[in-house]
Structure 1
Amino acid sequence: MSAVVLAGVLLSGCTSGSTGPSPAASTAQATPTDSPVTSASPDPTSKPTTAATTKAQPVPKVQRDGGGTPTITARPAGTDGRVSYSDGVKLRIRDVTFGKETKEGPGRFPGRAYAVLAMEISNGSARALSLDTVVITVLDSKGKQVNPVYAEEAKVNDFAGELKPGGTAKANYAFAVPKSSYSKVTVVVDFDGVHTSAVFRGGLS
């Protein structure tokens, strides 16, 4: 009889232990996770902010390590003009060319049209500029963000490295701008945490 009672006790113990998670497990599941990581970050040291946008700054600035609110501003320019900052930094769209993707394969879209923006930054300031976290965004005529294009035939290359005072840097960025928006786009160049983003509005030709 005692053996039967002992077996019943052991069986009861096993059953009660499997009826649900322990308090520690429940607490672990209820603990909030870290903030989600966004794919828009150009590198591990920067991330998009949630700051409200304005007409002059239609895209949130990227939050960079050690950076605060930008203190050097510039007025928007036309796509054929130049954005000039008070410290001597200037940006412009040197040229715009058009093409279509031709190669097939994963992540490719044969026949998709794109525009290549030849960008230029001139550093007329007294300090070097880091171009390692430059983010360029293109909005179509309705204000919708346009996808970047990395097809080999577009021959894109990013800004990178340090731009010393008096130097000029050039880079090419491609975007799948729909033909219906060729006459009206917004190009936003966020190149560091000290300057507000350079904004260009107008047509692509």
Structure 2
Amino acid sequence: MSVAALALCVGLVACSADAEASKGAEQTTTSSPAPRATTGGDASTDPGSDTADQPVAKIERAGHTTAPTISAEPADTGAPVTYDDGVTVRIDDVSFAKETAQGPGSFPDREYARLTITITNGSTAKIDLGTSVLTLLDASGTAAVRVYAAEAEAVDFAGVLAAGKSATASYAFALPSDARDDVALVVDFDGDHSSAVFRGGLD
């Protein structure tokens, strides 16, 4: 083989290798991990991680990257939690019953407490209640399980609460009769306000 032919052959092999490398680079893409979705579905799984005034960490909400700017002191279960901007949260009614539903996923005879909560928007801004999360803690700080049985007639907060308006919802929690005297109810209703915290007994 002549020197010229050998050089031509080497050149063709090099070009072919470069083409394959270029082709592979075009097919390879790099992407950053998708941002973690922030929703209003779940409360903290570590209720004791915050302070006594805020025993459950605030949930993450889309568009809220800073701590709440409006706060209120905890209240007794029989009194309202009142914020400086005019928003109030109160427990309107408490009732007790046992589950009666039968079948898969049901817990017949499990005791529960049904709490009716009202939020009154005395501020000048609307409040999005669509990501509200309520947590009931017993004396040991353990979160009670939500009860969704039909007879509990639970109705979550939802929608946007306009200035000057009130919204009422009902939540049911599995709570034995011997645990009713010392509880903490945490109402995390938006990203601008600290959670409303109630401490005391349920009767």
Instruction: Give the TM-score of the pair, scaled to structure 2.
Output: 0.77
Cα deviation, 1:49-71, whole Å, max 9, x if unaligned, reads: 98941111000101111112101
Q: For 2:193 and 2:92, locate their aligned partners in 1 and report how far apart those are by CA, in whole Å.
A: 21
Q: Flag the 1:142–1:83 CA change in 2: closer, same or farther, 3 A.
A: same
- How far is the alpha carbon of 1:169 from its aligned partner? 0.2
Query: Are 1:136 and 2:137 an aligned pair?
Result: no
In structure 1, the gaps of 5 or more residues are 1-32
State whether residues 97 and 111 of structure 2, in contact with CA within 8 Å, keep that contact through their aligned partners in structure 1: yes
- How far is the alpha carbon of 1:42 from its aligned partner? 3.4
Question: What is aligned with 2:164?
Answer: 166
State whether residues 77 and 83 of structure 1, in contact with CA within 8 Å, keep that contact through their aligned partners in structure 2: yes
Q: For 1:112 and 1:144, locate their aligned partners in 2 and report how far apart those are by CA, in whole Å.
A: 17
State whether residues 146 and 173 of structure 2, in contact with CA within 8 Å, keep that contact through their aligned partners in structure 1: yes
Q: For 2:106 and 2:77, locate their aligned partners in 1 and report how far apart those are by CA, in whole Å.
A: 28
State whether residues 47 and 64 of structure 1, in contact with CA within 8 Å, keep that contact through their aligned partners in structure 2: no
- How far is the alpha carbon of 1:181 from its aligned partner? 1.3
Question: What is aligned with 1:73?
Answer: 71
1:108 aligned residue (92, 106, 110):
106
Q: What letter corresponds to residue 121 of structure 2 in structure 1? A: N
- How far is the alpha carbon of 1:37 from its aligned partner? 8.2
SS in 1 for 2:119: strand
SS in 1 for 2:73: coil
Q: For 2:179 and 2:111, locate their aligned partners in 1 and report how far apart those are by CA, in whole Å.
A: 12
State whether residues 49 and 63 of structure 1, in contact with CA within 8 Å, keep that contact through their aligned partners in structure 2: no
Q: For 1:47 and 1:66, locate their aligned partners in 2 and report how far apart those are by CA, in whole Å.
A: 18
SS in 2 for 1:189: strand
Instruction: Give the TM-score of the pair, scaled to structure 1.
Output: 0.77
Q: What letter corresponds to residue 55 of structure 2 in structure 1? A: P
1:59 aligned residue (56, 64, 77):
56
Q: Flag the 1:104–1:120 CA change in 2: closer, same or farther, 3 A.
A: same
What RMSD in Å do the two structures reach over aligned CA positions? 2.4
SS in 2 for 1:57: coil
SS in 1 for 2:151: helix
- How far is the alpha carbon of 1:94 from its aligned partner? 0.2
Q: For 1:180 and 1:49, locate their aligned partners in 2 and report how far apart those are by CA, in whole Å.
A: 24
Q: For 1:121 and 1:53, locate their aligned partners in 2 and report how far apart those are by CA, in whole Å.
A: 23
SS in 2 for 1:153: helix
Cα deviation, 1:38-89, whole Å, max 9, x if unaligned, reads: 9xx535xx88598941111000101111112101000000000000000000
The alignment-based identity, stated in percent, is 49
> Which structure 1 residue ranges, 4+ long, deviate > 2 Å from structure 2?
33-38, 46-52
Q: What letter corresponds to residue 58 of structure 1 in structure 2? A: P
SS in 1 for 2:60: strand
- How far is the alpha carbon of 1:179 from its aligned partner? 1.5
State whether residues 83 and 90 of structure 1, in contact with CA within 8 Å, keep that contact through their aligned partners in structure 2: yes
State whether residues 74 and 198 of structure 1, in contact with CA within 8 Å, keep that contact through their aligned partners in structure 2: yes
In structure 2, the gaps of 5 or more residues are 1-32
State whether residues 186 and 201 of structure 1, in contact with CA within 8 Å, keep that contact through their aligned partners in structure 2: yes
Q: Flag the 1:49–1:111 CA change in 2: closer, same or farther, 3 A.
A: closer
Question: What is aligned with 1:118?
Answer: 116
